[in-house]
């Protein structure tokens, strides 16, 4: 996650403001959000594989699914 943030900061420092900067900022935010969604999905899959259904059903799943739906 830290590397994604560092990448985003480096990209914004290297370019002038304007439409291309807006696209770069949006792309960086999407990369970070996708990483977070993937991490949530992995946690849920690991919990299910370990037979921890209650853990898999915690609110983190709802947040991950909501984020996935809003990104589409």
Contact 12, 21 (CB under 8 A): yes
Question: Does residue 64 lie within any of the structural domains?
Answer: yes
Tens of pLDDT, residue by residue over 44-71, are: 888 889 998 888 888 765 555 565 555 5
Give the pLDDT score at 71: 52
Q: Tell me how far apart the alpha carbons of residues 12 and 10 are, in angstroms, rounded to a whole number.
A: 5
Question: Does residue 18 lie within any of the structural domains?
Answer: no
Contact 32, 4 (CB under 8 A): yes
Taking residues 1-15, report their average pLDDT: 78
Give the pLDDT score at 49: 92
Q: Count structural domains, the chain.
A: 1
Residue 52 sits in which domain range? 35-72
Please check the confidence at residue 20 and state whether its pLDDT lies above 80.
yes
Give the pLDDT score at 51: 92
């Amino acid at each position: 996650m830290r590397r994604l943030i560092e990448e985003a900061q480096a990209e914004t420092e290297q370019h002038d403001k304007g439409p291309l900067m807006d696209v770069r900022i949006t792309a960086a935010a999407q990369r970070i959000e996708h990483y977070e969604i993937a991490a949530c999905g992995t946690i849920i899959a690991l919990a299910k594989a370990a037979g921890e259904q209650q853990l898999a059903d915690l609110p983190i799943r709802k947040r991950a699914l909501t984020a996935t739906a809003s990104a589409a």
